[in-house]
Every structure is written in structure tokens, then in C-alpha cells.
Structure 1
Amino acid sequence: MAMVDIDMPRPAPGEVAVRIAYIGYCGSDLNSYRGTNPLVSYPRVPGHEISGVIVETGQNVPPTLEPGQRVTILPYFNCGSCNACRMNRPNACKHNKTLGVQREGALTELVCVPYGKVVAVNGLETRALTLIEPLAVGFHAARRAEIVPEERVVVLGCGVIGLGAILGALSMGAHVIAVDLSRSKLDRAVRLGAHATIDAAQECVDRALQDMIGEDGPEVVIEAVGAEETFRQAVDIVASCGRVIYVGYAKNPVLYETRLFVMKEINIRGSRGALLSDFHDVIEYLKRNPAASDVIISRVVGLEDACSAMAEWSADPGALTKILVQLSEDVDERA
């Protein structure tokens, strides 16, 4: 990872130029840094958790978007013609290209994107805008679970995606149990409203769940770790006729006890990215709960420390939940 100079872009017709205020580091950025992201090509500018301000608009941009507005960006670029796009599920586009993965990201001074990808946001602290995309991924996973009030929901993994799943499940009236290996991450989950936690580094998850809710098990398990062990664990602990939602993905093939699929008659669903409606749900949540960003954000660094911060996170991923890189000094604190 290195600092380089690139050409300053100008907005083409239908595009908006956004000056970046903050970028959040995502787990996919960390995997790209480590060389374990199978979707990325190099060299690549990372960054798709975005807070910025419009500085210029190209021709044919609606007047509702104008210079000075605080915005985030929907970082997924779908093809518009595959079966997922035709079903109005562009997040699952077969040919999707995400900022910072298959196309250049936003860890830079200025980006130009089609106006349809720009989401104006008022009434939030500027840095909180970086949390919209990752929390929306978790909200989308909760939506995929079709949670009904009072259901028991276990979330495996309390990174930002897992925290988003917790918040999404809570907003749907669930009783949420958070599971992680990190005590500090579990403490964050409690501060955000999780009803109970299991420290998987100290406790047997199966036994702890039985003590909490009995032998039936949780109606929903959301896997937000992306490890072979937790992929299998989700199927093992979910109740009969329950739902398992995978929002993480394991790096290696997973060996299952497949009889459980049939004997429990469970539903297994994937959850990919987020929809614009999930973005708006998160925006409304953050407006109602402005203190949440302070719980989630671990550290803010300047661009000059962006490389060393990534190296530090890679050395001890469990120590930090969310690192932000600040690219603009003259940003207002509230939009």
C-alpha cells in the first residue's frame, strides 16, 4: 500500500464530482491489502464507505443535487440487464463492479460518479456518513431473514457488518444474541442494544445458547464472520424450521453435515451488499441514534497515516472495529 499521485477527474455529462471528507476501511479493503480478496485486481485504489460533499455537477444532472450538499455514494455498479437486475435486485448483479474492488475506489481527494449513485444526506455528523454503507449491508441481511417480532436472532460476528445485522434485527423487534471472540466488540454490541452476548473465546456457544433460550435454538442465525467454522456452526445451532443467513463468505470450501438441512428443514439464504432502501433505513436509524457512530468508530487518521493504520489493523484485526481516513480538513461537523 502506497501513496501515489493520480489525475484530477472532471465530471462527464450525468456525473457528480464529490470531494471526499472521510473513507471507512472495510474488511474487503483489509483482504485486498493482505492479498486474499479473490475479486480484486491490482493496482487498485480502495475505499467504498464514503462521506463527501458535492463540488461540481456535469450536464444533465438533476437540480436536486448541487454543490455544497453532503453525500454518501452507493458503491455498487450493476449491469442493468442480467436476471438479478431485471428482478430489481441490483445488489446481486452477475456483473457487479464495486468501488475499490473491481473499479477504482474513493480513497482519494475527488471522485466522479453517475448522479444515480449519489445519496444526499442531511442532519448527520459528517464522519457518520461513512457508516451508512457497511451498516446497510447488515440491515439487508436482517431483511433477508424476514424477522418477525420476538424471534430469537443470533448474530455470529460483531464487526461493523455484524453490528448492522444486530441493529437491523433490533429494528424488526427481535431478541438479539451477539457472538464474537472479542470482548470489546461484544461490549459495543451491548451498547448498541444487543440483549445478550456469548464470548466464543471463553464459552461453548451451543451450551451457552441452551442455557439462554433452551433446546429449541434461535429462529434466525446471521453469519457475519466468513469462516468455515462459523458457516457450519450456523447450521448446527439454528432451530428446526429456522433461517440461516450468510453475509460473510468463507475463503475455503466448507464441509457440512448435510442431513441437518433436511432433518431441520431449514432455509439457507445468502445476503449480498445492500439496496438503496437499506441505505435510507440506516440513515433514519443514525438520525434517531446519533451516539451510535461514537460506539462504532475506533479511530480517525489523516491520509498521511492511512498506510500505517491499515498495517496496524492487519496485525491485530480484533482490536479495531472501524478506522476512518480523513481526507478533507475543512469539513463541517454536521451536514
Structure 2
Amino acid sequence: MLSVVCVEPGKLTLEDRAEPALAAGMAKIKVRSIGICGTDFHIYEGSHPFLQYPRVMGHELSGEVVEVNAGSALTLGDRVIVNPYLPCGSCVACRKEKPNCCTNIRVLGVHTDGGMTEFIIIPEGQLYPANDLSFAQAAMVEFLSIGAHGVRRGEIKSGDRVLVVGAGPIGLGAALFAQIAGGSVAILDVNAARIAGAASLVKGAKGFVLGANTDAEIAQYTNGDMFDVVLDATGSKRAMEASLKYVAHGGSCVFISVVKDQITFDDPFFHAREMRIIGSRNATKQDFNHVIASIKNGKIPIDLLNTHTAELKDLPSKLPQWLGEQDSLIKAIVTLD
């Protein structure tokens, strides 16, 4: 079967690998669509903190069930979405029903080979029905679930003022689900083109482009109160630290992004606001289900998020090209026949 392998930073190759064999509790999936994530770009660039090479990347996956064990609840031909976070099921986090931060978690395409290949074996419990979604739409559920989980971690409620820092795909997902939760949403980014694109997708959101006057503009916009919840989706140490200054007294800052660095803050500033700093990692089945329902109910402009496409065989040339198209790229989808 055809597989795309990141052999080392900056080097993708096409390889012909043996198809995986079915195992107990697993289902064999023919991969049909793959979303390209910031994680994949970081792996390609060599900046991901949890990775060993070579690696088959790809964790935003949809596919078709092609082989199951006897007694499976799945049916051949079922269209499925893959939850790529593989928990151990027994650690302290799993016992608290938080498998998304399992102490022994394996993430497809990061800790173990992922879905940039024709066939993959997945635990049945990590497969969710795609129902009426297209394969491309189904491959976008995972990245939207990251934002939905961050919104849930922030406990956003109706009337909250919410600032999303970072107008990339995860930030857009967070902004959309913050609106669904009833928040009044603003988005901050260093890139004016990204803010313009966000405004066309997240209707009614206020956009701020980071500059010399941004802090004053935000203070005026919030009447000096700042934001009840700040969601950082930048993956930038500098931005994550700066996000804290936009949190209102009694408010919360949710770090959806992760960076290979140390984050510091001014303790008197933090304590004066009785601020909460919250980590948000991955997503759970609850978030996947929320995203699927929101797409089916027409609350997410799902097809507008898919800005770039390619076939798997062309990915070694396309992925480096997409790195230079960040102004216009929201979500690239790789397809397999």
C-alpha cells in the first residue's frame, strides 16, 4: 500500500508498505480523506516536541470499514471518523474519564504511525459514525473538536466576552464553538489576511490585527474590562504570555496550543485578577459528537474551511508548497480513491 513517510525533517518520501493485519478489538479502515494539521507541518519542519523519525504522519482521518472481527458492531462499508488519541484505559486520567490526557497516550501520526497511507488498523472504540458527512467533511471533525474542547474547558456561557488569539484552523474552530456556546467573540492575529478570512467565516466576530495600538483598541472595545475567557491557539510562547494581559478580573485563559518552551507570567498581575490558567489537550468523544451535530445542524461553514486539496501521491511536493501559503490556507484535505 502507498504511504507517505517523513523520513527526517524536511524530507517526505513515498513508500510501498505491507497492509496491516487485523487484530482483536480492531477494525481495518481504508483511509479516504486526511486533513493536514499544524502538527504535520511542525513534524515536517522538525519542531514537534514529541516525535521520533521516520514517521507516517496524519491524524485527521475519515475512512471506510473494510475488515472487522466476528461480532463487531461495525459493518463493512461503514463511513467513519477516527479519534486519533489512543489511551491506555487504566491510568489516573483514564480512570477520571479524561482519556484525552492519558499518561500513556499514543497519538496517531505522532507517537505511532498515522493515516497518510491507504489502510490503517484502529481500535473499534475510536471510530465514530460519519453519518451523512462527506469523507472530506468527516476528516475535518477532529481539528474542530480541538477548538470545541477548548471552549468546553473554558466553561464559556451565554454573554461571555471571548477573545481567540490566533486565526489559524484551531483558532477558527474555537471561535465558531465559542459563538455556539453563546459567547461574544473577538479574534486577534498578527496577520491581516487571516483576520479578514476569519471575519468571513465567523460571522459577527470582531477582528483585531496585532499592532502598536491593539491594546488600546481592545481596552476601548471591552470598556476596559478585557475578556471573560481568552483562548490561545497560537503555539507561540510570546503570544501565549501576552494572552494573559487580555483576561478580565475573575476570568480565564485557556491554552489550547502547546509550545516546546516555558511560559512565564507576572504573579501579582495573575493574583490580582484571580485568573484561571487552563490547559486544553486534544478532545474527547463528547467533543467529536458536538462537532458532528453542529455540522449536521448547519452551524459550521464546513465546506468553506476546506481551502486546499491534493491526492496522497502528490503530498511530498504539495505539503512544502502549502507551508508558503499560510495566508490563504485554512484546511488542506488529502484524498484517496
Aligned to 1:9: 20
Residue pair 1:159, 1:321 contacting (<8 A) in 2 also? yes
Aligned to 2:9: none
Output one character per residue of 1:59-106: Cα deviation in whole Å (capped at 9) or x when no partner.
3422xx111111111101111121111100010111110000001101
Task: Report the CA distance shift for 1:326/1:156 in structure 2 as closer, same or farther (over 3 A).
Answer: same
Aligned partners of 2:299 and 2:29: how far apart in 1? 24
2:166 corresponds to 1:157: yes
2:72 paired residue among 56, 61, 69: 61
Number of residue-to-residue matches in the alignment = 325
Residue pair 1:221, 1:245 contacting (<8 A) in 2 also? yes
Aligned to 1:317: 326
The runs of 5 or more residues in structure 1 that have no matched partner are: 329-335
2:185 paired residue among 172, 176, 179: 176
Aligned to 2:259: 250
Task: Report the CA distance shift for 1:93/1:291 in structure 2 as closer, same or farther (over 3 A).
Answer: closer
1:19 paired residue among 8, 30, 53: 30
Residue pair 2:66, 2:77 contacting (<8 A) in 1 also? yes
Output one character per residue of 1:121-163: Cα deviation in whole Å (capped at 9) or x when no partner.
1111221011100000100000000111111000001111111
* Higher alpha-carbon deviation: 178-187 or 109-118: 178-187
Aligned partners of 2:212 and 2:182: how far apart in 1? 27
Aligned partners of 2:299 and 2:164: how far apart in 1? 23
Aligned to 2:132: 123
Residue pair 1:135, 1:282 contacting (<8 A) in 2 also? yes
Task: Report the CA distance shift for 1:194/1:131 in structure 2 as closer, same or farther (over 3 A).
Answer: farther
Residue pair 2:294, 2:300 contacting (<8 A) in 1 also? no
User: Quick check: which one's strand share is greater?
Assistant: 2
1:326 paired residue among 304, 311, 335: 335
2:164 corresponds to 1:193: no
How many Å apart are 1:319 and its aligned residue? 3.6
Task: Report the CA distance shift for 1:309/1:178 in structure 2 as closer, same or farther (over 3 A).
Answer: same
* Higher alpha-carbon deviation: 166-175 or 187-196: 187-196
Aligned partners of 1:3 and 1:140: how far apart in 2? 34
Aligned residue runs from structure 1 range 47-86, under 5 A: 47-62=58-73, 65-86=74-95
After superposition, the CA RMSD in angstroms is 1.5
* Higher alpha-carbon deviation: 181-190 or 72-81: 181-190
Residue pair 1:14, 1:60 contacting (<8 A) in 2 also? no
How many Å apart are 1:222 and its aligned residue? 0.3
2:301 paired residue among 292, 296, 304: 292
How many Å apart are 1:194 and its aligned residue? 4.5
2:57 paired residue among 46, 50, 63: 46
Task: Report the CA distance shift for 1:7/1:324 in structure 2 as closer, same or farther (over 3 A).
Answer: same
Aligned residue runs from structure 1 range 72-151, under 5 A: 72-151=81-160
Aligned to 2:4: none
One-letter code aligned to 2:207: T
Q: What TM-score comes out, normalization by structure 1 length?
A: 0.93
Aligned partners of 1:255 and 1:272: how far apart in 2? 19
Aligned partners of 2:114 and 2:90: how far apart in 1? 24
Residue pair 2:40, 2:58 contacting (<8 A) in 1 also? yes
Output one character per residue of 1:263-299: Cα deviation in whole Å (capped at 9) or x when no partner.
1110110000001010010001111228712221110
2:243 paired residue among 229, 234, 237: 234
One-letter code aligned to 1:55: V
> Where does structure 1 differ by over 4 angstroms across 4 or more consecutive aligned residues?
none
Identity over aligned residues, as a percent?
A: 32
Aligned to 1:259: 268
SS at match of 2:103: coil
The runs of 5 or more residues in structure 2 that have no matched partner are: 1-11
SS at match of 1:95: coil
How many Å apart are 1:203 and its aligned residue? 5.7
One-letter code aligned to 2:203: G
* Higher alpha-carbon deviation: 135-144 or 207-216: 207-216
Task: Report the CA distance shift for 1:70/1:184 in structure 2 as closer, same or farther (over 3 A).
Answer: farther
